[in-house]
Amino acid sequence: MMDVIEKLREIVKKEMEGTDPSHDFLHVTRVYNLCLEIAKYEKNVDLEVLKISALLHDIARLKEYTDKTGKIDHAFESAKVAERILKKMKYPKEKIEKIKHCIVSHRFRGNNTPKTIEAKILYDADKLDVIGATGIARTFVSVGVHKQKIWNDVNIKEYIKKNFVDGKRNGRIIDLSKHSPNIEFETKFKYVLKKLYTKKAKEIGKGRIEFMKKFFKRLKKEISGKL
């Protein structure tokens, strides 16, 4: 088993070169580690399926990132790529199906919800990576990539109407340059906890959200010169 994991790790590392720092191989590594931690508290987890799914879950991320049509879903693309790689390695068919389900259902906005325990763990681990200190770091990567402000004082309701597709909080952001970390916190991260499946992830998530709240509160005060 270790051999398969190590081989895949090398493939993924190479395939993900050139992705931005929020979605690079380090993200995959963090998600992988979180998966193992969450799995300790769940029963009947197929660790091999989980590990492989974690490693491959964002392998086609670059394809979505460079796509201008907005139609490419990296979860579907990654599942396809995963299937191709695993088939080539002569990996058991029934396990490939399980892995594909985990990968397809990991996406935040996707309609495919995770059904198996491995898929739920991967989903949770991937969501935890957008919150906490890591989440904050990732939002500031976006500041650099999309030339955003580090703080943007907006009326959140108005902002959602104007800068999200269909005026919905869950829609895609229309103009990324108008977005900012504090807005991302108000419109997305605050709602992450409700979406988690496993007990351990909820516990970790709670701590991470608390930390973010403190951070943004302080940032606002510093910006206004109060601290």
Q: Judged by CB under 5 A, which of 22, 126, 138, 201 binds Fe ion?
A: 126
Given the complex with Fe ion, which of 53 and 180 has the nearer CB atom? 53
* Cβ 6 to Fe ion shortest distance, Å: 20
149: left (phi over 0), alpha (psi -120 to 50) or beta: beta
Structure-token pair, residue 35:
């998966």
* Cβ 127 to Fe ion shortest distance, Å: 9
* Cβ 195 to Fe ion shortest distance, Å: 14
* Cβ 122 to Fe ion shortest distance, Å: 9
Q: Is 58 in the site for Fe ion (CB under 5 A)?
A: yes
Q: Is 15 in the site for Fe ion (CB under 5 A)?
A: no
Looking at 3-11, 126-134, 146-154, 159-167, which segment touches Fe ion (CB under 5 A)?
A: 126-134
Residue type, 185: F
Q: How far is CA 66 from CA 19, 74, 109, in A?
A: 10, 11, 19
Given the complex with Fe ion, which of 130 and 159 has the nearer CB atom? 130
Phi/psi for 22 (5° steps) reads: -80, -25
Q: Measuring CA to CA, which residue among 214, 50, 185 is closest to residue 117? A: 50
Residue type, 18: G
Q: How far is CA 39 from CA 29, 36, 114, 176, 193, in A?
A: 15, 5, 15, 35, 18
Q: How many residues bind Fe ion (CB under 5 A)?
A: 2
* Cβ 105 to Fe ion shortest distance, Å: 11
Q: Contact residues for Fe ion (CB under 5 A)?
A: 58, 126
